[in-house]
């Protein structure tokens, strides 16, 4: 059944994590919808989920960017000021549905990105992390103006969150350089070894460059190439702006959301020149592949095509470089112990 996907974020920048597509259909997993974690999300919260997997070396790949949500809006309410249930397309993308998509491709661990439906209520994501210790890490969303921001960051990092998403909703990015709450967020992240993960447009890359100058000790992970190529064209000036961020040693980039960039046609080989340029600029040690599921598994797009672009079609990559992009960089950044 075809269903329209509202993308307020990728093209308009109004929401933090909806699909990059304008239209699509329910995912393969979505056709077997499962209420999932909403039914039984219980785990021991007394220990750091990342520590439970120490000593057990994992060799499978890591998907560095996935959203999950549940149709159980009674237990996990959505932000009804910005979204309705009809915006939740597909209606369900639980961890069980996700694992059905990614495990056949050799993906063993996943970085969950807080879904914008829930705004700053990270409960569902945290419950998933607890339910599957060592499998999931998280990138949360916080109100950087909250009076208890330091305590929130401490609690979230203890629960398995390793980064915090910032987005350009409502033109906020023009105040990022002078906002005291944003300064607190960047400083604490720098001290704790946590990441700032901007969801931005190419026009915002200059602001990120200035923030990296201001907070050089803070690790930054740019989502989806900074949306270079979302218009259907890889604009050289925009790609240059992205690659100029490589001068900051703490800047990383997610090689992700292929379904929404360039020609937007699998197997996405038209994106190879951009990928090579980014690899040459940042090195594989600062790049990580990600699918942006469930949006990567809508309509004509599928999970395997995304991972194959890096895993098979980038012929010039060595096995070591491929391992960095498909696993080691994300492991270093998102499955690490924090201070």
CA distance 94 to 174: 35
Please give the pLDDT value at position 168: 73
Residue 19 domain flag: yes
Q: The domain that contains 271 carries what CATH number?
A: 3.20.20.140
CA distance from start to end of the chain: 47
57-91 burial code (b ≥16 CB/10 A, e <16): eeeebbbbbbbbbbbbbeebebeeeebeeeebbbe
Query: What would the DSSP string read from start to end of 233-291?
Result: S--HHHHHHHHHGGGSTTEEEEEE-GGGSTT--TT-GGGHHHHHHHHHHH-GGGEEEE-
* Per-residue tens of pLDDT for the chain, all 339 residues: 333 333 443 444 434 444 444 333 333 443 333 333 333 333 333 344 444 444 567 889 999 999 999 999 999 999 999 999 999 999 999 999 999 999 999 999 999 999 999 999 999 999 999 999 999 999 999 999 999 999 999 999 999 999 999 997 655 666 899 999 999 999 999 999 999 999 999 999 999 999 999 999 999 999 999 999 999 999 999 999 999 999 999 999 999 999 999 999 999 999 999 999 999 999 999 999 999 999 999 999 999 999 999 999 999 999 999 999 999 999 999 999 876
Please give the pLDDT value at position 169: 67
Residue 54 domain flag: no
The greatest distance separating any two alpha carbons of the chain, rounded to the nearest whole angstrom, comes to: 50
Residue 217 domain flag: yes
Residue 330 domain flag: yes
Q: Which two tokens stand for residue 78?
A: 């959505």
Residue numbers of the domain that contains 251: 2-36+62-334
Residue 55 domain flag: no
Please give the pLDDT value at position 173: 66
Residue 51 domain flag: no
Q: Are 70 and 76 in contact (CB under 8 A)?
A: yes
Residue 23 domain flag: yes
Please give the pLDDT value at position 59: 87
Please give the pLDDT value at position 327: 98
Please give the pLDDT value at position 172: 64
Strand 195-199: give its sheet, edge to edge: 61-66, 107-113, 136-140, 161-167, 195-199, 219-222, 251-256, 287-290
Residue 276 domain flag: yes
* Domain count within the chain: 1
Please give the pLDDT value at position 2: 36
CA distance 23 to 6: 7
CA distance 89 to 59: 32
Claim: this prediction has a pTM higher than 0.75: yes
């Amino acid at each position: 059944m075809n269903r329209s996907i509202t993308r307020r974020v990728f093209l308009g920048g109004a929401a933090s994590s909806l699909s990059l597509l304008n239209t699509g259909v329910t995912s393969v997993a979505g056709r077997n919808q499962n209420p999932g974690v909403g039914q039984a999300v219980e785990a021991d919260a007394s220990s750091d989920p990342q520590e439970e997997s120490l000593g057990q070396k994992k060799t499978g790949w890591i998907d560095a960017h996935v959203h999950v949500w549940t149709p159980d809006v009674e237990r996990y309410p959505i932000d009804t000021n910005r979204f309705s249930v009809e915006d939740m397309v597909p209606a369900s993308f639980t961890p069980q549905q996700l694992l059905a998509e990614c495990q056949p491709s050799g993906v063993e661990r996943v970085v969950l990105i807080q879904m914008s439906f829930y705004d700053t209520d990270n409960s569902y994501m945290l419950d998933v992390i607890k339910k599957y210790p060592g499998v999931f890490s998280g990138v949360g969303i916080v109100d950087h103006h909250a009076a208890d921001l330091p305590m929130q960051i401490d609690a979230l990092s203890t629960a398995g969150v390793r980064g915090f998403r910032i987005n350009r909703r409502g033109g906020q990015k023009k105040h990022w350089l002078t906002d005291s709450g944003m300064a607190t967020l960047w400083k604490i992240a720098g001290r704790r070894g946590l990441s700032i993960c901007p969801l931005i447009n190419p026009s915002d890359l200059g602001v990120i460059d200035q923030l990296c100058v201001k907070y050089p000790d803070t690790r930054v992970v740019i989502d989806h190439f900074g949306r270079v190529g979302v218009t259907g064209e890889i604009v050289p000036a925009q790609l240059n702006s992205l690659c100029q961020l490589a001068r900051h040693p703490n800047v990383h980039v997610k090689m992700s959301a292929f379904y929404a960039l360039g020609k937007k046609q699998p197997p996405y080989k038209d994106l190879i020149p951009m990928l090579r340029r980014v690899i040459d600029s940042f090195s594989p040690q600062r790049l990580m592949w990600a699918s942006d599921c469930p949006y990567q598994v809508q309509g004509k797009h599928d999970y395997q095509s995304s991972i194959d672009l890096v895993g098979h079609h980038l012929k010039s990559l060595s096995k070591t470089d491929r391992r960095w992009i498909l696993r080691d960089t994300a492991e270093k950044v998102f499955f690490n112990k924090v201070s």
